[in-house]
A and B are shown apart, each in its own frame.
Chain A
Amino acid sequence: MKQQVKRHWGLWLTIIVVVLGLIGVGLTRWDAPLYQQTVAKVTQVHAINRNSSTDEFQNKDVTYQQAVTVRVLNHRHQGQTYQIRNTYTKSGAMDQAYRVGDQVFVRVPATKSSSVTIQGLKRDTALAFVAWLALALLLLIMRFSGLMALLSVTLNAVLFYGAIQLDLMTNGGHLYSLFGVLAVIFAVLTLWLVQGFSRQMLVTLGATVAGTGIAVIISLIVFAVTHERGVTYEAMQYVTQVPRPLFLVETVLGSLGAVMDESTDIVASLFQLKQERPDIAPNQVFRSGLQIGHSIMGPLINVLFLIFMADTFAMTLLYLRNGNNWGYTFSMNMSLGMVQSLISGIGIVLAIPVASWLASRLLPGQEAAV
């Protein structure tokens, strides 16, 4: 009976949190005063004209012009309305049509001579809605475990932010040591939150660090032997520091979560195995670990591969439609993602024997036998 009351409480609390969250999402429609930029709401839109165009590669597109009437929602020009001419294309690579009800950032120049321009769409409401959807589902289906997962991701995000600030303060000079240490802290913190501080957690940590470390060493050897042929660092996006170290750090961080995921699975299963059959021999434990690893590694490598590659889609498409051949398009857009996937893959595969071996030698009860 008491248990039932408690369970009802949990459910009600979850529902209250979810509903409050939805109200919060709705409130972002009225958060304009919080922005430094000038925010305006689109009140009227009408089409002016359309032009068909054909570029030098025979791509046919349509360019539209629309007159957008906006009413400013915050700061100095609050309440004033402006009519702005917006040009957009059917494909919408860099531009977009605006619809009545959209909130946008506008720039109102100090002098009357230049015109008001739209800087971009205000996307916070939509983003908050999707975040709310994910969190609501998480809480409703997973309850407390969902909260812990969320906490670990939040803490990692804070650390990540701190490390970036440090990196900027040192101007990228200590990138390797900074993010190397960060990677270890990430691993310790995450595993500690998931498993608590225990022998099992230490074994998992060891496997994660060793697996990733060996993968990096192997990759560096391959880089040296092949003189990094076909690794197009110059194609890296958004680079403001030396690209090569940045790329390696990105790769290590990118694969870290997956390697932890896998090591956790293997080590946890092996510890459970040992509990069920205390007299099992270390070699048997090692073999069981490999067995578990077999079925995990394929899907896990695919997770990272799809994440790394999907990002490159828009640019790849643009290259293809701009008359570039497949080989050049691949090397300028997909080769870095490919190298990243392969290095991560090597880390994921290597973590299997490392985790199995560590677990087989460091299982509890071993000392008693000696």
Chain B
Amino acid sequence: MSTITVLGLVLFVLMTIIGGKTGATAFLSLIFNFGLLFLAVVLISWGFPAMGVSLVIGTIILAFTIFFGEDNELAAKTAYIAALIVMVALILVIFPVEHWIMAQGFSLEDSEDLEGMSLTIGVSFVGVAVTEAILSTLGAIAEASIAIAAGLSEIIEQYPHVTTARLYIDGISIGKQIIGTTFNTLFFGFFGGFLALFIWFSGLHYSFGSVINNKIFVAEVLMVLFSLIGVILTVPVTTWVMTLEHRHTAKQQD
């Protein structure tokens, strides 16, 4: 058996032992998400527009991640709506920025990997960069929106008559608690993976000026920043959606 299969089995067994049914479904969502990611690349390679593909696939990935991980219906629904709003807002930032900064495709550092390849493949790499950026932020958005929605729905459960203003303050305060650790998840997630590139930059004595204008470095830092913006926006947006839901149910009960 290949290493990936065995590692996958180990992860599945561990998730099932420790997480029970939730763990098993979470593993399932991971597999679905992989399938969706691969599908996204294949669709783009068949000539579908990158923007449309990222919107559709993004919507589905968020659904799998949020509804498979969270049991509380109110929390999951709120988190999903909020995550969708944030995704659309982020696309409005990502799309113009990627067209401005032009950090798409490959750089001179990739030359070795590109040997013998035809680069004139007729697919817009700026579009691909937009897709990459959107998809890489989705996990962080989903995680933050679930954390805040779950926290708030617990507060509503315990104090059904909590006021909207109070709920808003609580939402931001939960956000403050998670923002520090989420930053670290993103920071290490992105930069840990690019250790080799940074060793390359330092080893070949790139100047500070060349690093901050380097295509690959810029593309990578952009992804971190987009994810950060996504997570920060998720805090007020999720809280806002939750207050709407809360007011709605309160009205129904009257």
Contact = CB atoms under 8 A, between A and B. Distances in A.
B88 interface: no
B84 to A, nearest CB: 16
B98 to A, nearest CB: 9
B81 interface: no
Interface residues of A, number: 134
A291 to B, nearest CB: 10
A338 B219 CA distance: 21
Contacts of B140: 303
Interface stretch (A2-10, A77-85, A248-256): A248-256
B187 A257 contact: yes
Contacts of B63: none
B183 A92 contact: no
A20 to B, nearest CB: 19
A142 B233 CA distance: 11
A60 B120 CA distance: 7
The binding surface of chain B is classed by DSSP as helix
Contact of A346 (B10, B41, B131, B209): B10
Nearest to B66: A299
Contacts, number: 407
B43 to A, nearest CB: 10
Contacts of A322: 117-118, 121
A126 interface: yes
Interface string A170-199: 001000000100000010001001100000
A246 B200 CA distance: 12
Nearest to B197: A238
Contacts of A290: 18
A152 B221 CA distance: 17
Interface of A: 34-37, 53, 55-57, 59-61, 63, 89-94, 96, 105, 120-124, 126-127, 129-131, 133-134, 137-138, 141-142, 145-146, 148-150, 152-153, 156-157, 160-161, 164-165, 167-168, 172, 179, 186, 190, 193-194, 218-219, 222-223, 225-226, 228-231, 236-241, 246, 249-258, 260-261, 264-265, 268, 290, 293-311, 313-318, 320-322, 326, 330, 334-335, 338-343, 345-346, 349-350, 352-353
Interface of B: 1-4, 6-8, 10-11, 14-15, 18-20, 22-23, 25-27, 29-30, 33-34, 37-38, 40-42, 44-45, 61, 65-66, 68-71, 93, 97, 100-107, 109-110, 113-114, 117-126, 128-129, 131-133, 135-140, 142-143, 146-147, 150, 172, 175-200, 202-203, 207, 209-210, 212-213, 215-216, 218, 220-223, 225-229, 232-233, 235-236
Given A299-B65, A352-B18, 19 more contacts: A59-B122, A89-B119, A93-B121, A123-B101, A123-B218, A126-B100, A133-B229, A134-B232, A237-B196, A237-B197, A253-B193, A258-B188, A297-B26, A298-B27, A304-B189, A311-B136, A314-B104, A317-B123, A334-B38
